[in-house]
Amino acid sequence: MLTTQQLELIQAIEQLDLASVKALLAEGLDPNFLEPEKGPPISIICDVLFQWWQPIYDGYEAGQPIPEAEKQQSLLVYLDIIDALIAANANVHLWDSEEFFGPLWDAASAACVPAVQRLLAQNVNPNTLDDEGMTVLSSISQLMYECDFDEIDWDETWPEEKQTLQLLREHGAKMTKELDL
C-alpha cells in the first residue's frame, strides 16, 4: 500500500505539477517505489510524455507541424520532472509493475529525444527486452513503422521519430535479431 506522500507524488507527476514534485522530493521522499498499475514514478512521467507527443503527432498527420519553439516550450515541464527524479536518485532501470515497459521504452515511443538522452546518460540499457522479447529499438520501430529498424524508409519519417531511433542506435541499441547473432 502506498503512503500519502507517494500518492501525492504520482498525482503531481500526472498533473505536471513541478513545484509539488520538487517539494515532495525535497522532503526526502524516495522515488523508488512501484505504483501497482503504473510502475515507478520515473516510468509514470515517461509514460505521460504521450501528452506532449500526441499534439505533435496530430500536427504532422494534419499537415500542420507544430513550430519547434512551441514543441520545446511545452516539453520543459516533463524534462524538469524527469531531472528532479533523477536528481533524487530515481532508479531509471526499473520497469513497470508487469515488467513490460520501462522509462526508456516510454520516452522513445513518445519520440522524445531529450528524455531518451537523459535516460541513456544514466546508462539505461537500450537492449532490455519488452514483454514480447523485443529490444527497445525493434519494438519502437515496429510501433512507429510496422517494420524493424533496418527496414525503415527514412524519407517517410518525422524528425523526432528518426532522431529518437538513431539516438538509440548510436548508444548501442540493437535490433532483436542482432542479439541472436
Write down the mean pLDDT value for the chain.
93
Q: Are the beta carbons of 94 and 34 closer than 8 angstroms?
A: yes
158 strand-pairing partners: none
Q: Are the beta carbons of 108 and 116 closer than 8 angstroms?
A: yes
How much is the pLDDT for 149? 96
As a whole number, mean pLDDT of residues 100-114 equals 90
Burial of 93 (0-12, 13-18, 19+ CB in 10 A): middle
Whether the predicted model's global pTM rises above the 0.75 cut: yes
How much is the pLDDT for 162? 96
How much is the pLDDT for 157? 93
Full set of structural domains in the chain with CATH:
4-179 (1.25.40.20)
Whether residue 40 is predicted with pLDDT greater than 80 in this model: the reply is yes
Q: What is the DSSP letter of 135?
A: B
Closest CA to 21 of 84, 77, 76, 115: 84
